[in-house]
A and B are shown apart, each in its own frame.
Chain A
């Protein structure tokens, strides 16, 4: 067989890569297009800020929005401090030995566990063993465990991106290791840490399985009063109205999906903008 000329193979390669890129773009844009097209008619102030009525076939999705925000913010409030502390330990203090390597490997693998397994774990530990019941707190802690690997991994890379020369300069001034971390390393790693935190929120906000057993209610007539209350949550609500309720108006289903999509995408957008601002400011 004759070999292709370099020019021709270059052309072929570029067109193959372009086609692959277009193929990946199609489903994403199709999803967004279909959801926006079918759901936009449902969006109104009333839809966003009122309770569902007529067996959820009308009214709004306010409690589900509130529930999702409550669960997600409680989960990040737990996972962020723990994750950042663990990342500091691994990056700044841990010696490179077998134990450390096992821990690092475990963290990476934690990210690969199916989310339904997290849900069952949360049911066993938080709902039953610790007796929180099906509640915001149980769901939030379950999601927090899911967020941890993402937060630890991004925080570690943010910490290790801080040049070592800063650490040396600070230590050489007689500043202790912890003070160096607090005053030099952390402030410079903070934008990266926050970007990771936002991305991990975006990842768990749309999760259904982990909250299915731990936090989500089919329907609640009232908004939650404390973290020990059950709540409605957007992903679970979406699952119910699209599978469990007959004669559900189509635009409400798509409208709910649209709200969830916008919430998650805007969080990713915030992370992207934060990263751009940070890159511009950073000079080292």
Chain B
């Protein structure tokens, strides 16, 4: 990587992955990953299925811990602290690093309760008026408020898939994270809904650091500033998105982004 490769020199490094390995049992799914993600930018991870991009994303909020047989070595620093340190509080890590999944997965409860859930259960907020404000603000932030303000008490499952995915983002925003991880957030959506979610990402970028895993190269090119290309558990190339798509340094990257495989 070139010196001074980030033009936005003033932006801080939010997430730093150092010598990171991850094993599922004996299978090495991530091999020696080194990557630093800057704040308030959109970083996308691309690569063919099974390359480890989702696994890497899921390592950043340690949701991989719930899978049996996962073992890691190396460090991931968030705001300068190693989240794999045994003393690190995982629940507060996950509040700080929200995650949106491939299939919209709202809870089968009301729209309002979906958004208030994280705050209520963690007893971060107990005042009704404050809660109402947070719920409204979160739903406004994902441009959902005007569509659903009259049916907050209805089940979240009555919404369209795209609205559900927005709701899932609102649910994450409500607990005030710094980082939002998106794991192929549009793969269950049609092209129109996909465009709306992409527009939303560009708005959210102003306030949040966003990391998105996508199998859709056009999506990575459209929304992200930085792109990491992965192959077979290794990080092949990490650079500005425009560089990755126009003049990649590695042959594998070139082959992938020009559609020769994957």
Contact = CB atoms under 8 A, between A and B. Distances in A.
A45 interface: no
A176 interface: yes
A168 B105 contact: yes
A163 B105 contact: yes
A171 B105 contact: no
Contact of B101 (A165, A179, A283): A165
Nearest to B96: A174
Given A96-B68, A167-B66, A179-B121, A173 B108 contact: no
Nearest to B69: A96
B177 to A, nearest CB: 9
Given A188-B108, A284-B108, A172 B61 contact: yes
A168 B104 CA distance: 12
A163 B101 CA distance: 13
B98 A172 contact: yes
Given A168-B66, A183-B117, A183-B121, A173 B107 contact: no
B63 A175 contact: no
B107 to A, nearest CB: 6
Say what secondary structure dominates the interface of chain A.
helix
A233 to B, nearest CB: 41
Interface stretch (B46-54, B167-175, B205-213): B167-175
A173 B66 contact: no
A179 B117 CA distance: 11
Contacts of A169: 101, 105-107, 168, 171
State which size class the interface on A falls in.
Answer: 20 to 34
A107 interface: no
Nearest to A188: B108
Given A179-B121, A183-B121, A284-B157, A173 B105 contact: no
A166 B105 contact: yes
B98 A173 contact: yes
A277 to B, nearest CB: 15
Interface stretch (B71-79, B87-95, B224-232, B245-253): B87-95
Interface string A148-185: 00000000000000010111111111111001000110
A174 B94 contact: yes
Given A172-B61, A174-B175, A283 B108 contact: yes
Given A168-B63, A172-B61, A175-B122, A95 B68 contact: yes
Interface in A177-226: 179, 183-184, 188
A211 to B, nearest CB: 41
Interface of A: 95-96, 163, 165-176, 179, 183-184, 188, 282-284
